[in-house]
Amino acid sequence: MTNTSIITIGDELLIGQVIDTNSAWMAQELNKAGIRVKRRVAVGDMADEIREALDQESVHADIILITGGLGPTADDITKPLLCDYFNGKLIVNEEALLNVKYLFEQVFKRALTDRNLRQAEVPDNCIVIPNKRGSAPGMWFEREGKIFVSMPGVPYEMKGMMEDDVIPSLIKRFSFPHIAHRTLVTFGVGESMIADMILDFETNLPAHIKLAYLPNYGMVRLRLTSSGTNADIVEKDINTYFSALQLLTQAFMITDKDEPMEQVLGHLLLQKNKTMCTAESCTGGYIAHLITSVPGSSAFYNGSVISYSYKAKEELLNVQEKTLLNKGAVSEEVVLEMVKGALNNVASDYAIAVSGIMGPNGGTPDKPVGTVWVAVGNNTKQVTRKFHFRFDRQRNIQLTAMNALNLLREFVIAD
């Protein structure tokens, strides 16, 4: 079995200043191509530690993919280090030089410095991988049957290289097993409960099929994975088991794809040829952001009013001043007026309205932090629900969004 290790280089990863989204993306794309990722390692900008990681990961894996440390500044040491590690010397690569000049003169429209020109130098013993989106070229080394590929840490530059060059070249080189994943998503049930619900199924799974539980924000994603050499058998096999899993979990399943709640709701609305809008107070645009992150969402989503102030609630959603004063902004009455105001002013078939206290401040004895009112509905009927979350601001915002979207999903299905 061919194994891959991903090495991410950068002090920023070890002091937590950035979140490593690169290796998740890389792992996803590699898996789709049947390339198994065995380990992921992050090390700092220190020569000894990078060398140690290169030595060690080449014991674990056949393919070592490296990102980071290729920038033009002094803390970027990956290129000279790899050059030395593979006993090469730096030479100017003409194609990379043309690319750097083109980028600075035509795209960035910034003065080209010596530092930028040095981006075009590469070890003489690597295959150069062109970088169409930035100035640092990628490098492909081979030693003792192991492949080492170094790419920039800038996500969209790395992604371009992986898609255009690295993955196609790896596929040509190796014969990877076929890997198939199928995922379904449940809402409103804990993972223990699901485990009991599907106990026999899970116990009797054959060895080459794995089941994973991924709980998050009231949802549990259940993922089946199968692998083998014959693609047809692998696909047929996983579909059989996946159908059985769907049947067992259907009472809680919101989708049989690995897709987020906002996309489930979007598909449902498109299917029914309906539109929606939102009126958000405490989630401050997060629900709108989730929905509009989906390409093509303008086909079912008309917009939102983010009413942080009383005035915005009154002016844009026609919430009555006396309701705000008598009931408070976090109340069933206010979210009902908000949802009606949104339906009317953003002119949609369905609407969601939320108002709550996300913390860390703003709680009162009768309305503690985590109190949320949600209303969903259409012009003829509205449904409300009160929630009590007990987490930090970020998690409260996310849980509110998920529950509000799910409430509308249920409403649309029943409608």
Give which of 231, 239, 238, 232 is closest to 176, Cα–Cα.
231
Closest to a copy of itself by CB, 74 or 251: 74
Q: Considering the complex, what minimum distance in angstroms separates the CB of residue 87 from a copy of itself? A: 26
What residues contact residue 228 under an 8 Å CB cut-off, 6+ apart?
177, 178, 208, 234, 237
Residue of 39, 51, 178, 267 interacting with a copy of itself (CB under 8 A): 39
Q: Considering the complex, what minimum distance in angstroms separates the CB of residue 295 from a copy of itself? A: 6
Span 364-393, contacts to a copy of itself by CB under 8 A: 390-393
Q: Considering the complex, what minimum distance in angstroms separates the CB of residue 325 from a copy of itself? A: 17
Q: Considering the complex, what minimum distance in angstroms separates the CB of residue 322 from a copy of itself? A: 19
Span 243-272, contacts to a copy of itself by CB under 8 A: 258
Per CB under 8 A, 75 contacts a copy of itself: yes
Find out whether 412 and 349 touch, Cβ atoms under 8 Å: no
Cα dihedral 58, 126, 48, 136 sign: negative
- The neighbour count for residue 92, using CB atoms within 10 Å, is 11
Residue of 9, 34, 45, 339 interacting with a copy of itself (CB under 8 A): 45
Span 149-168, contacts to a copy of itself by CB under 8 A: 154, 156
Find out whether 322 and 247 touch, Cβ atoms under 8 Å: no
Kindly state the number of chain residues that form the binding site for a copy of itself, as judged by CB under 8 A.
113
Per CB under 8 A, 84 contacts a copy of itself: no
Closest to a copy of itself by CB, 71 or 377: 71
Phi, psi dihedral angles at 294 (to 5 degrees): -80, 120
Closest to a copy of itself by CB, 102 or 127: 102
Find out whether 340 and 332 touch, Cβ atoms under 8 Å: no
Distance of CA 129 to the CA centre of its chain: 26
Span 269-328, contacts to a copy of itself by CB under 8 A: 277-278, 280, 283-289, 291-293, 295-298, 301-309, 311-312, 315-316
Closest to a copy of itself by CB, 85 or 389: 389
Closest to a copy of itself by CB, 2 or 31: 31
**Cis peptide, bond prior to residue 206, ω within 30 of zero:** no
Distance of alpha carbon 268 from alpha carbon 256, whole angstroms: 13
Closest to a copy of itself by CB, 100 or 126: 100
- Host H or E run for residue 281: none
Residue found by looking up tokens 């002091």 in the block:
15
Find out whether 82 and 139 touch, Cβ atoms under 8 Å: yes
Per CB under 8 A, 233 contacts a copy of itself: no
Residue of 9, 34, 42, 65 interacting with a copy of itself (CB under 8 A): 42
Helix, strand, or coil (residue 143): strand
Closest to a copy of itself by CB, 111 or 251: 111
Per CB under 8 A, 394 contacts a copy of itself: yes
Span 85-114, contacts to a copy of itself by CB under 8 A: 107-108, 110-111, 113
Bridge partners (DSSP) of residue 344 are none
Span 18-37, contacts to a copy of itself by CB under 8 A: 18-21, 23-31, 36-37
Which region among 138-146, 219-227, 245-253, 373-381 touches a copy of itself (by CB under 8 A)?
219-227
Per CB under 8 A, 11 contacts a copy of itself: yes
- The neighbour count for residue 212, using CB atoms within 10 Å, is 11
Give which of 106, 113, 47, 49 is closest to 80, Cα–Cα.
47
Q: How far is CA 228 from CA 26, 143, 203, 210, in A?
A: 21, 28, 21, 13
Span 172-191, contacts to a copy of itself by CB under 8 A: 181, 183, 190-191
Binding track over 121-150 against a copy of itself, x by CB under 8 A: ------------------------------
Distance of alpha carbon 378 from alpha carbon 351, whole angstroms: 6
Q: Considering the complex, what minimum distance in angstroms separates the CB of residue 393 from a copy of itself? A: 6
Find out whether 157 and 131 touch, Cβ atoms under 8 Å: yes
Closest to a copy of itself by CB, 125 or 189: 189
> Residue 272 carries which side chain, given as an amino acid letter?
K
Distance of alpha carbon 185 from alpha carbon 256, whole angstroms: 6
Span 188-217, contacts to a copy of itself by CB under 8 A: 190-196, 202, 210-216
